[in-house]
Structure 1
Amino acid sequence: MNVLQIGSIAILYKWVFLGIAIFIGYISIRVWLQSSTEKKNIKPIMDLLFNTIFLSFLVWKGSLLLLEPSIILKSPFSILYFTGGSKGLILAIIFSFAYFFLKAKKLEISNEFIIKLMFIFSLVVLTAYHGLTVFFIEEDVLYHSLISLFMITVLVIGIFKKDIYSLKWIYMVTIVFSFVHFILIMILIKSQAVFLFSVEQWFLIGIILVSLFHRNKLRSLN
């Protein structure tokens, strides 16, 4: 079974692994900040990251009101036991990036530093999540294996290559990863289509378009 049973509450293991991956990402950012910014800036950035994660969790839980209002109308307390699923998670991710970016700007953090931080956090979380899923869940093993292999490759390159987190490189990796991820979902994952593609695929298309826009904008400035 892929469900963790705690009393009357059943939690999918993939959500448990996501929580663990986010915690690993949080710790990784703290370690990264030790060598990339002044000590006085570490606490406000980590506080902002924690708040972003917490509020994103609430958005994920609360998305059930938007996605499945009938469930809440029948049983209001069901919001304590259920989440918005994968669709709600995408809404929470969009919220988290927008919230973190806007709040970080108020802390007078540069756009480049914000993007690097969000990229590193996402990279670590995805690597940990898909890696845990490969070892402990027997569903879609090839899909999760290929995603984690891609992420690990990026991490290894990051260790040995200098200036790996330049904006140009970040946008390129994001575009390539999103495209590869899109194809893997099409080939290996059975998902419900919404206007030809799944919600996750549309989300990846959005990431590709945004990354292409900013990468071309960066080129025009050079």
Structure 2
Amino acid sequence: MTYVNIGSLTIPSGWVASLLALILAALLNRIFTGKKIGEWYWNSFFFYFFIWKTSYIFFQFTLFLNMPLSIIYFNGGIKGHILALVVLILYLFFIVRKKYPSIHEEPIRIFLFYLIIYQTVINLIENNRIEMFIHSILLVCCLFLIKKISNQLFFLFLLLELLILSYFGSLFSIEGATFSTIGLIMLTLSKNKYGRRKP
């Protein structure tokens, strides 16, 4: 993994790409729809990051007691990642669906923005120019079609992203599995309680 130096801090490229994708996805959503993204979006990211990061205490309790500041540099790893995903799913299905009606309209659009921007940015940081260029083309196509996005188009874009990931890396990775899982969650959330998208 590539690291980015910001002043005296050394930050993993994945963190930088995640944060930029989070902000840019919300910005593009505002530009192309004229609507501000719901609070559920920011809360979801916070809950995932908080659980993934602090799960280190649970899984490495002795090490944490000996070196409390180690939590700055370490996280819960794969176990923490899975735990964070479980918490995220519970939050989205049992709290967000009741509290934020817009969840039925926003998830597939905002997830496509986030996914493609993340892949574009991280490949830019890691100097993978060909892969970055392909993701950029996909992002442009997504922007042109975003107002006509449907479950079928969403599924097509998701499959194309996974195909790109499998060509340049491995589909059967934590990253691929995570995006596939969250994509299916967003697809499920995009349906209203009667099982149909809102007009």
TM-score by length of 2: 0.68
Counterparts of 1:125 and 1:208, CA distance in 2? 11
SS state at 1:11 partner: strand
* Aligned AA (2:107): M
Aligned to 1:200: 175
Q: How is 1:56-71 mapped onto 2 (pairs within 5 angstroms)?
A: 56-65=48-57
If asked which structure has higher relative contact order (CA below 8 Å, sep 6+), I would say 2
1:158-194 CA-partner distances (Å, limit 9, x unpaired): 25xxxx24xxx22x23433343333333332168xxx
CA contact (8 A) 1:101 1:114 kept: no
SS class of match (1:82) = coil
Q: 2:106 aligns with which of 110, 117, 120?
A: 117
AA partner of residue 106 (structure 1): K
State the Cα distance separating 1:201 from its structure 2 match.
3.6
CA gap 1:176/1:57 in 2 versus in 1, 3 angstroms: same
Q: Distance in 1 between matches of 2:137 and 2:83?
A: 26
Output aligned runs, 1:56-95, within 5 Å.
56-65=48-57, 72=64, 75-84=67-76, 92=84, 95=87
The CA RMSD over aligned residues, in Å, is 4.0
Q: What TM-score, normalized to structure 1?
A: 0.62
1:198 deviation in Å?
A: 2.4
1:185 aligns with 2:174: no
- The alpha-carbon distance between structure 1 residues 46 and 205, as it changes in their structure 2 partners (threshold 3 A), is closer
Q: Does 1:128 align with 2:117?
A: yes
Distance between the aligned counterparts of 1:22 and 1:127, measured in 2? 11
CA drift of 1:83 comes to: 3.4
Larger Rg: 1
| 1:3 and 2:6 are equivalent in the alignment | no
- Quick one: which of 123, 134, 158 aligns to 1:146? 134
Distance 2:136 2:85 in 1: 19
Q: CA deviation at 1:19?
A: 0.6
CA deviations on 1:26-74 (whole Å, 9 max, x unpaired) are 3444556755xxxxxx6xx744433333222202312445676786466
Helix, strand or coil at the partner of 2:75: coil
Of all paired residues, the percent bearing the same amino acid is 23
| Corresponding residue of 1:156 | 144
How many residue pairs align between the two structures?
Answer: 192
Distance 2:62 2:137 in 1: 40
* Distance in 1 separating the partners of 2:50 and 2:123: 27
Q: Distance in 2 between matches of 1:60 and 1:9?
A: 20
CA 1:103 to 1:124, structure 2 compared with 1: closer, same or farther past 3 Å?
same
